[in-house]
Chains A and B, each alone.
Chain A
Amino acid sequence: AQTVTQSQPEMSVQEAETVTLSCTYDTSESDYYLFWYKQPPSRQMILVIRQEAYKQQNATENRFSVNFQKAAKSFSLKISDSQLGDAAMYFCAYRSTPWSASKLTFGTGTRLQVTL
């Protein structure tokens, strides 16, 4: 079974600074998808960014980017120019292929605080 590990229960960053959240995973599969979701106090899980394992290029979405190291099974999230609205719980998630309605497995989460 796949496992996803987030070793940082809590992180703090000052507004406008950059922070990196760590995620590692364990799998024997060669093809899969990785996601970062955020969950603010409103409870809704919101997709931040996704990465296909077969793509070597790291995904970017505006201020959010990933550092995907397939051999190391590492998938970190970098948030640049942090904003107060970035404060939330961040979950790394793994999804196997090829079946589309397959299980999405979440890590334990990292709570991000953004300070002035």
Chain B
Amino acid sequence: DTEVTQTPKHLVMGMTNKKSLKCEQHMGHRAMYWYKQKAKKPPELMFVYSYEKLSINESVPSRFSPECPNSSLLNLHLHALQPEDSALYLCASSQDRANSPLHFGNGTRLTVT
């Protein structure tokens, strides 16, 4: 069982739609991450939140908007996406220690039509 829960598991959306990806963890972790993974590629970091504040934005286009309402929740709001944004979106969390490994969710498979 994964300790990081992502919903939905699959999402198909049109280029004019607005949708949100959700991530939840109850391990008391204070750092949360969004990664994007294309097929047969490694995950690429998008955003990092530390203590509910955005600490890293890897030059992600503004059509992706992250939100961290509290220490357990992480959202990724999607608007006006392009077909090339189709990918697996992984959420992760970790403790606030440098040697703490990331705990990943099962991801949301996003298809933009």
Does B66 lie at the interface of the complex (its beta carbon under 8 Å from any beta carbon of A)? Answer: no
User: A residues within 8 Å of B by Cβ?
Assistant: 33, 35, 37, 42-47, 50, 52, 91, 95, 97-109
CB distance A102 to B107 under 8 Å? no
CB-based contact B2/A44 at 8 Å? yes
Interface pair A99/B98, CB less than 8 Å apart: yes
Partner of A35, one of B31, B98, B101: B101
Q: Tell me which of A52, A106, A107 has the highest count of chain B C-beta atoms within 10 A of its own C-beta.
A: A106
Given A50-B99, A104-B45, A108-B42: A45 and B94 interface contact (C-beta under 8 Å): no
Q: Which residues of B contact A50 (CB under 8 A)?
A: 99, 101
Using Cβ atoms and an 8 Å threshold, which residues of chain A touch B2? Answer: 44
Contacting residues of chain B (8-38) with chain A, CB-CB under 8 angstroms: 30-31, 33
User: How many interface residues does chain B have, given as a range?
Assistant: 20 to 34
Given known contacts A101-B56, A103-B56, A104-B45, A45 and B99 CB-to-CB distance under 8 angstroms:
no
Q: Is the CB of B98 within 8 A of A102?
A: yes
- Do the beta carbons of B56 and A45 come within 8 Å of each other? no
| A43→B106 contact, CB < 8 A | yes
Given the interface pairs A45-B90, A45-B104, the reply to whether A103 lies near B42 with Cβ below 8 Å is no
A33 to B45 Cα, complex, angstroms: 17
Contact B43 A33 (CB under 8 A): no
The chain A residue with its CB closest to the CB of B51 is A101
Residue of B nearest to A92 (CB): B42
- CA A108 to CA B58, docked complex, whole Å: 18
Contact yes or no, B50 A100, CB < 8 A: yes
Contact with A along B93-106 (1 / 0, CB 8 A): 01111111111111
Q: Is the CB of A44 within 8 A of B42?
A: no
> A97 near B45 (CB under 8 angstroms)?
no
Q: Is B81 an interface residue (CB 8 A)?
A: no
Q: Are B45 and A109 in contact (CB under 8 A)?
A: no
Interface contact B45-A100, CB-CB below 8 Å: no
Residue of A nearest to B109 (CB): A43
Q: Is the CB of A44 within 8 A of B106?
A: yes
Which A residue sits closest to B42, measured CB to CB? A106
In the complex the two chains form, what is the Cα distance from A97 to B97 in whole Å? Answer: 9
List the B side residues contacting A33 at CB < 8 Å.
98-99
